[in-house]
Amino acid sequence: AVSPTGCPVSPRAAEFDPFEAPYQLDPAEALRWSREQEPVFYSPRLGYWIVSRYDDIKAIFRDNHTFSPSIALEKITPASKEAQAVLERYDYGMNRTLVNEDEPAHMARRRELLEAFSPEALEAHAPMVRRLVREKLDAIVDRGRADLVAEMFWEVPLTVALHFLGVPEEDMEQLRRFSVAHTLNTWGRPSPEQQVEVAEGVGKFWQYSGEVLEKMQRQTQGKGWMYDMIEKNRQKPDVVTDNYLHSMMMAIIVAAHETTALATANAFRQLLSRPAVWDELCDNPELIPAAAEECLRHSGSVVAWRRRATREVSVGGVTIPEDGKILMVTASGNHDPSHFENPDELDIYRDNAVDHLTFGYGSHQCMGKNLGRMEMRIFLEEFTRRLPHLELEEQAFTFLPNTSFRGPEALWVRWDPAKNPERQDP
Ligand code: HEM
């Protein structure tokens, strides 16, 4: 095989397939060979240029003119004819949001919408997050065994996301199914039969988003980030456009909740599989923010992100042609020894963990990162206090097959309710 520039493709590059087990189970490990030997390569199976080293990824994030984010939400597997027909039936029109918008439109919009993310605005949500986590913990604390993903890691971030956005809390189960469909549709490789089913889910999600948006637009007193957008859309319709509103409504429900749910599940898995580290957090809860950050580096919930080359450009010494599609494997960058010492070790005292690429970098860097961090911190604070004797059960982890969003689909833990500290100290 040869790449679009006519260069021969190495055997490992030819074999690379992000939908196969090695990448699905551990994307950073699956790209170790690339970090060491061929840090930029063309993947004929994916049709993308893969970039695996920290410095190269950061350089791409830094220059969003040469490396356009326009393909960030494109279907990585093109829709079949049948799936296309389904989407058309729903008048599906997901287009520009923030994350896939070019300059200068992006910055103008981002600036208009920053207020909801100020430290004070975010701090106001903390009591609600803690109340939600406590309620969910109350429900399981005497049980002795639970799948934390099913019991709370999905629902709490989803509730927080809806609250942050000002979206009425309706039918959580349906929203969860919609999110899965959206992830498979955008970052997965559904089979031809699955494609139609997934398209149905995505079409319904699009329709639902439009209906909720219309309801919200009729309300004048609502509070939340979606209402900020609706207001800006009234004041500056050329900056915050109508299609932006509808696209964002759908994209942000997923961006704000799935990322955080998966990050929390990853963090609990990593920390509980190292009982000494877990015990240290129970004894020293002030270490929790640093531990959460290190978990985001070591096992982030976003593991790869996309850009398109707007001109011929050299990355790590390899020429990428104009319009070349790029998959930056941020999980691999986060395990690059040239930036992180002993990168495979989970070290809660690491002083540069915050340099990780899990929130992206540069002008599009995640706007909600401090909300996600706060949720992870509160989950860890409540669990280390109320269930310090929590243990991870032996289990085989499974993942939703896709290139970019990663976290276990279930996380089984157990504990002895007789040893719950609150029993000894009522
Ligand atoms: C963008 C990850 C939570 C809102 C992004 C990007 C990543 C990301 C990788 C693209 C960055 C880039 O292109 O440089 C995450 C992770 C989260 C998380 C790992 C949780 C652990 C949230 C939450 C919200 C949110 C809770 C909202 C309340 C956004 C927005 C953007 C974004 C609005 C687009 C920013 C722009 O393009 O200017 N996020 N995210 N995210 N995220 Fe998050």
**Amino acid 250: pLDDT:** 87
Q: In this structure, is residue 1 part of a structural domain?
A: no
Q: Residue 170 pLDDT > 80, yes or no?
A: no
Distance 32 CA to ligand 1 centre (A): 26
* Residue 346 is assigned to a structural domain of this protein: yes
Q: Is the CB of 302 under 6 A from ligand 1?
A: yes
- Nearest atom (ligand 1) to Cα of 371: 26
Instruction: Say if ligand 1 is within 6 A of residue 287 CB.
Output: no
Ligand 1 centroid–CA 310 distance in Å is 23
Cα of 366 from ligand 1 centre, angstroms: 3
Summarize pLDDT for 330-377 with one digit per residue, the tens: 999 999 999 999 999 999 999 999 999 999 999 999 999 999 999 999
Return the axis-axis angle of helices 192-218 and 172-187, rounded to nearest 10°: 130
CA atoms within 13 A on the CB side of 213: 24
39 lines ligand 1 (CB under 6 A): no
Q: Is 187 in the pocket of ligand 1 (CB under 6 A)?
A: no
Atom of ligand 1 nearest to the CA of 264: 21
Would you say residue 412 has pLDDT above 60? yes
Q: Quick check: CB of 379 below 6 Å from ligand 1?
A: no
Determine the distance separating the centroid of ligand 1 and the alpha carbon of 367, expressed in angstroms: 5
Indicate the pLDDT class of residue 252, thresholds 50, 70 and 90.
Answer: confident
Contacts of 87 (CB under 8 A, 6+ apart): 79, 199, 202, 203
Position 121 in a domain: yes
Quick check: is 3 in a domain? no
**What type of residue is 41?**
F
The letter for the amino acid at 86 is V
Distances (CA, A) of 366 to 21, 29, 361: 28, 25, 8
Task: Answer yes or no: are the C-beta atoms of 268 and 411 closer than 8 Å.
Answer: yes
- The predicted structure's pLDDT at residue 60: 98
Closest Cα to atom 20 of ligand 1: 260
Q: What is the mean pLDDT of the chain?
A: 94
Give the whole-number percent of the chain exceeding pLDDT 90.
83
Sign of CA dihedral 373, 381, 353, 337: negative
From 359, 373, 403, give the residue whose CB has the most ligand 1 atoms within 8 Å, as the site to mutate: 359
Q: Is the CB of 301 under 6 A from ligand 1?
A: yes
Question: What is the predicted pLDDT for the residue at 424?
Answer: 65
- Mutation to probe ligand 1, out of 167, 259, 296 (largest number of atoms < 8 A from CB): 259
C-alpha 348 to ligand 1 mean position (Å): 23
Which CATH number goes with the domain that contains 263? 1.10.630.10
331 lines ligand 1 (CB under 6 A): no
Picking from 18-32, 236-250, 273-287, which range would have the lowest pLDDT averaged per residue?
236-250
> Looking at ligand 1, which atom is closest to the CA of residue 110?
38
222 is a domain residue: yes
Per-residue model confidence (pLDDT) at position 62 = 98
> Could you tell me what percent of the chain has a pLDDT over 70?
99
Instruction: Read off the pLDDT of residues 124-167 as tens digits, 9 standing for 90 and up.
Output: 999 999 999 999 999 999 999 999 999 999 999 999 999 999 98
Residue 375 is encoded by which pair of tokens? 């949720």
| Predicted local distance difference test score (pLDDT) of residue 261 | 97
Domain hosting 236: range is 11-424
Q: Are strands 48-51 and 145-147 parallel, antiparallel or unpaired?
A: unpaired
State the distance from the centre of ligand 1 to the C-alpha of 7, rounded, in angstroms: 35
With respect to residue 269, please indicate whether it lies within any of the assigned structural domains.
Answer: yes
Each residue's pLDDT tens digit, 273-323: 999 999 999 999 999 999 999 999 999 999 999 999 999 999 999 999 999
Q: What is the 3-state secondary structure (H, E, C) of the chain?
A: CECCCCCECCHHHHHCCCCCHHHHHCHHHHCHHHHHHCCEEEECCCCEEEECCHHHHHHHHHCCCCEEHHHCCCCCCCCCHHHHHHHHHCCCCCCCCCCCCCCCHHHHHHHHCCHHHCHHHHHCCHHHHHHHHHHHHHHHCCCCEEEHHHHHHCHHHHHHHHHHHCCCCCCHHHHHHHHHHHHHHHHCCCCHHHHHHHHHHHHHHHHHHHHHHHHHHHCCCCCCHHHHHHHHHHHCCCCCCHHHHHHHHHHHHHHHHHHHHHHHHHHHHHHHCCHHHHHHHHHCHHHHHHHHHHHHHHCCCECCEEEEECCCEEECCEEECCCCEEEECHHHHCCCCCCCCCCCCCCCCCCCHHHCCCCCCHHHCCCCHHHHHHHHHHHHHHHHHHCCCCEECCCCCCCCCCCCECCCCCCEEECCHHHCHHHHCC
Per-residue confidence band for 13, with pLDDT thresholds at 50, 70 and 90: very high
Q: Is the CB of 365 under 6 A from ligand 1?
A: yes
pLDDT at 425 over 60: no
368 lines ligand 1 (CB under 6 A): yes
| Residue 289 maps to a domain | yes
Query: Is the residue at 355 inside a domain?
Result: yes
Atom 2 (ligand 1): residue with closest C-alpha? 359
Please tell me if the CB atom of residue 265 comes closer than 6 angstroms to any atom of ligand 1: no
Domain count, the chain: 1
Q: How many Cα atoms within 13 Å fall on the side-chain side of residue 330? A: 27
Please give the distance, rounded to the nearest whole angstrom, from the Cα atom of residue 35 to the centre of ligand 1. 25
Mean predicted confidence (pLDDT) in 94-123 = 93
